[in-house]
Chains A and B, each alone.
Chain A
Amino acid sequence: MAEMASNGQTPEVLFWVGCAGSFDERYKAVTQAFVKILNKVGVSFAVLGPEETCTGDPARRAGNEFLFQMQAVANIQVMNGYEVKKVVTACPHCFNTIKNEYPALGGNYEVIHHSQFLQQLINEGKVRLQGGGEFKGKKITFHDSCYLGRANDVYEAPREVIKALDVELVEMKRCRTKGLCCGAGGAQMFKEPEAGKKDINIERTEEALATGAQAIAVGCPFCLTMMTDGVKNKEREAEVKVYDLAEMIAKDMGI
């Protein structure tokens, strides 16, 4: 972003990478896949790079409002400094926070989730799919992320993206408004669960596996971790893969 700004360029959209997208070994692949799609399509975009910090979501959900606002205000200063208008992110938590919670602190942007962005690119014919590639005809189930679905009523965009791949989309019993959390939201990602009889991601993974799907599609870094761990726990990782939507599209495009 800094580079583009110093060259007097204004990117069409800021890609908010997020901490998982920057540091998580598995999710970096999603970041890379999404960037490759953007490059291939020729979208004018920028990233903040080292100028980006955590949106503060987990701190806020864990109750630490000071820490949240310290992150938020700093991020808003940076984004407002670059006169950012539109933000796209592959993380529903970042999406929710920037879209819904930054306005109260002076950060007003058009914020969309990468599933919505991908759907737009597909609808506009900018992303041309090859008919599913390795996914063609396969059974795929989509796990709704709470911060995309219930929190922001985005249910159809990710499904449209999957359907564009010419696959058989199978729904879990609990889907859309009734979707079951992966267990990582509300800062749970960063601590062990309380005592109980089962881990939430195992409950959800069992439901996903019960659909007979060969792949589980997600649109959230935390869900990706939780579902991947769940599939490993069930020792099914050889047959059932967990993918982010951007990875599936990039694979189909052969990039």
Chain B
Amino acid sequence: MSILPQLAFLLILGVAGYILSKRIQFLRRNILLGKAETRNDQSENRWKTMLLVAFGQQKMFKRIVPAFLHLLIYVGFLVINLEVLEFVLDGILGTHRLFAPILGGAYTLAINIFEFLAVAVLVSCVAFLIRRNVMKVERFTKPELKGWPAMDANLILVIEIILMFAILTMNATDQILAGRGDEHYVALGTLFFSSFLQPLFDGFSDGALVAIERFAWWFHIVGILAFAIYVTYSKHLHIFLAFPNTWYSNLKPKGEMQNMPEVTNEVNMMLGIPVENPAEPPAEIGRFGAKDINDLSWINVLNAYSCTECGRCTSECPANLTGKKLSPRKIMMDVRDRAEEVGKSIDAGGPGLADGKSLLGDYITKEEINACTSCNACVEACPVNIDPLSIILQLRRYVAMEESGTPAQWNAMFQNMETSFSPWKFSPSDRFNWADKVKEEEMK
């Protein structure tokens, strides 16, 4: 037999591997445009969170119907990839169904399981297409999904459906050929699901069947490699990034805002409190808060790349629910899009971050961030523990401390706090007046 197919396969594998590694470098660099932050504490807890939330899909199950459909696709993805291992080995070695003789009956069982999952994935993808395009589930019709994001979502589902059809077609034709006694093909006994496709191919010649079987095989494996590359351009990156993203979850109470030590030193000096290590020159202070992606933590940018735009955050956001412009999902999409823009610009020898644009202003408006109630509903809702609130609050810090651009009513509140130590304008000496009534009653 010619070794041409093997060489072709190796070439395709090599090219795909090269493109993928380039893409991974690009994504990694973009994520690291964010500021350094160390979050390696409590590693036992982090592994546990990753196992429960990413691997175990724990938070998906807050909404049972999409959780179930998603679970089928997820398990299908994990398990069918075992078969891809055989595909790759067959491709390199020029064999066909390498594991069939070794595993015997267990192989037939495994292929039947793969077929079941392929059908399950197929059905789920169709259901998801219906939810998006026919039922128009509200969170999939928000303005930030118009255009490419909606197309991206549909493309992913359609590609998955086609890939699953390729597997089933391959198995059906393969088994017809085995049944006709072609010695290259191994009879596996009953393959339940693909046997339903066999009548479609009954009248075909052997040659035609071989052609279809080979086409389906190549289509599936090349399709998977192409899909893997496509994923790096798509919101579908969550299939990989959900794992590191949950590992780097914020494990502190959700209400806690991160301290700004650079401010603490100044405050201590103003209040005449001795500063620790006063000899130490002040660390170079960049900006207070965040204006662009390089002011955010790299974990914020990782969050953005892990977002699959499901919109559970936005559908629980009180501001969004009541018609305000804020959408936590859009915040995440904006961070990712800005990181992509800067990354591409750097690679093209362009100005990168210095392109005259910024995350705040060109992507996210003050009106959006001002509408946030910091209620943590978005953080709680996210199936992969993304934290949009952290980004919103860092942007607010920039607006307040670098631009003095907070709404007038907040400025008034600041002033009250500076002069009377309360957000309302009351005399500080009246703070204890509530006790008069209690004392009066006790005197009686």
Contacts and interface: CB of A to CB of B under 8 A. Distances in A.
B435 A35 contact: yes
B271 interface: yes
A28 B430 CA distance: 12
A71 B428 CA distance: 13
| Top-8 shortest CB links A-B | A151-B255, A63-B400, A186-B374, A197-B323, A196-B323, A53-B421, A63-B396, A181-B375
B434 to A, nearest CB: 4
Contacts of A64: 400-401, 406, 414
A96 B255 contact: yes
A156 interface: no
Interface string A98-131: 0111001100000000000000000000000000
B265 to A, nearest CB: 10
Interface stretch (B24-32, B219-227, B345-353, B365-373): B365-373
A229 interface: no
B319 A200 contact: yes
B contacts with A: majority SS: helix
A177 B406 CA distance: 30
Contacts of B62: 178
Q: Of residues A58, A186, A190, which shows the largest number of chain B Cβ atoms within 10 Å of its Cβ?
A: A186
Contacts of A101: 256-257, 259
Contacts of B326: 194
A151 B267 contact: no
A113 to B, nearest CB: 12
A204 B322 CA distance: 10
A200 B318 contact: yes
Given A32-B437, A62-B406, A65-B288, 5 more contacts: A47-B432, A47-B435, A64-B406, A66-B267, A190-B410
B270 A70 contact: yes
Interface in B358-406: 367, 370-377, 379-380, 393, 396-401, 406
Contact of A200 (B253, B255, B322, B409): B322
A69 B401 CA distance: 13
Interface in A224-255: none
Nearest to B367: A194
Contacts of A52: 431
Contacts of B261: 104
A62 B414 contact: yes
B254 A58 contact: no
B321 interface: yes
5 contacts: A32-B437, A61-B396, A63-B393, A64-B401, A65-B263
B228 to A, nearest CB: 35
A52 B428 CA distance: 9
A74 B267 CA distance: 10
B371 to A, nearest CB: 4
Interface in B314-355: 316, 318-319, 321-326
Contacts of A188: 373
A73 B271 contact: yes
Contact of A35 (B319, B413, B421, B438): B438
A196 B442 CA distance: 48
B322 A146 contact: no
Interface string A128-139: 000000000000
A61 B19 CA distance: 43
B422 A53 contact: yes
Nearest to A33: B438
Contact of B271 (A70, A146, A191, A193): A70
Contacts of B423: 19, 54, 58-59, 189-190
A249 to B, nearest CB: 16
A62 B416 CA distance: 14
Interface in A189-214: 189-200, 202-204
A2 to B, nearest CB: 11
